[in-house]
Amino acid sequence: MENNEDLLKKINILREQVNDIDNHLVELLAKRKGITNELIQQKIDAMLPVLDKQREREIISKHIQNIDIINETFLNKFFHLLFEDSKRQYYKYENLFSIHDYICRRPIIIAGPCVVENELQINTIAEKLSSYGIKFLRGGSFKPRTSPNSFQGLGNEGVKLLSEAAKKNNMYSVTEILEIEQLVKNYELIDVVQIGSRSMTSYGLLKSVGNMTAKDGKYVLLKRGFSATLSEFLNAADYILQAGNPNVILCLRGIRTFEQIDSNLRFTPDLASILELRGRTELPVIFDPSHSTGKANFVVDISNAALNIGADGLIIEVHNQPSTSEVDAMQAIIPEKILDII
What does the binding site for Mn ion look like in residue numbers (CB under 5 A)? 114, 328
Give the up-direction half-sphere exposure of residue 102: CA atoms within 13 A in the CB hemisphere. 22
Name the minimum Å distance from CB 218 to Mn ion. 22
CB nearer to Mn ion: give 144 or 244: 144
Site mask for ligand PEP (CB under 6 A), range 245-284, x = bound: --------x-------------------------------
Question: How many chain residues interact with ligand PEP (CB under 6 A)?
Answer: 11
Stretch that binds ligand PEP, among 37-45, 155-163, 192-200, 270-278 (CB under 6 A): 192-200
Q: Name which position in 135, 218, 266, 291 contacts ligand PEP (CB under 6 A).
A: 291
Q: Smallest distance from the beta carbon of 144 to ligand PEP, in angstroms? A: 6
Largest CA distance in the chain: 82
Q: Is 180 helix (H, G, I), strand (E, B) or coil?
A: helix
HSE (side-chain half, CA atoms, 13 Å) at 310: 18
Site string for ligand PEP, 137-176 (x = CB under 6 A): ---x---x-------------------------------x
Distance from C-alpha of 287 to C-alpha of 133, rounded to nearest angstrom:
19
Q: Which is nearer to ligand PEP, 114 or 171 (CB)?
A: 114
The residues facing 313 across adjacent strands are: 108, 286
Residue nearest to Mn ion (CB): 114
Smallest gap from residue 326 Cβ to ligand PEP (A):
12
Q: How far apart are CA 271 and CA 15, in angstroms?
A: 37
Cβ neighbours of residue 200 closer than 8 Å, sequence gap 6 or more: 222, 223, 224, 225, 228, 232, 233, 236
Element (H, E) at 316: strand 313-317
Nearer to ligand PEP, 317 or 320 (CB): 317
Q: State yes or no: cis peptide before 107, omega within 30 of 0.
A: yes
Which 3-state string (H, E, C) describes 25-90?
HHHHHHHHHHHHHHHHHHHHHCCCCCCCHHHHHHHHHHHHHHCCCCCHHHHHHHHHHHHHHHHHCC
CA dist 177 and 199 (Å) reads 9
Binding mask 204-243 for ligand PEP (x = CB under 6 A): -------------------x--------------------
Q: What SS3 class is residue 261?
A: helix
Nearer to ligand PEP, 51 or 200 (CB): 200
Task: Let me know how many helices (H) and strands (E) the chain has, helices first.
Answer: 12, 8
Task: For the CB of residue 194, give the shortest distance to Mn ion in the complex, in Å.
Answer: 11
Q: Which is nearer to Mn ion, 114 or 162 (CB)?
A: 114
Q: CA-CA distance, 241 to 191, in Å (whole number)?
A: 18
Which of 140/335 has CB closer to ligand PEP? 140
Out of 109, 114, 137, 338, the only residue in the binding site for ligand PEP (CB under 6 A) is 114
Q: Which of helix, strand or coil describes residue 162? A: helix
Q: Rounded to the nearest whole angstrom, what is the least distance from the CB of residue 212 to ligand PEP in the complex?
A: 20
Please, which residues have CB within 8 angstroms of residue 46's CB and are 6 or more apart in sequence? none
From the list Mn ion, ligand PEP, none, pick the one residue 223 interacts with, judged by a Cβ distance below 5 to 8 Å according to partner type: ligand PEP
Closer residue to ligand PEP in complex, CB, 79/194: 194
**Which residues of this protein are in contact with ligand PEP, per CB under 6 A?**
114, 140, 144, 176, 196-198, 223, 253, 288, 291
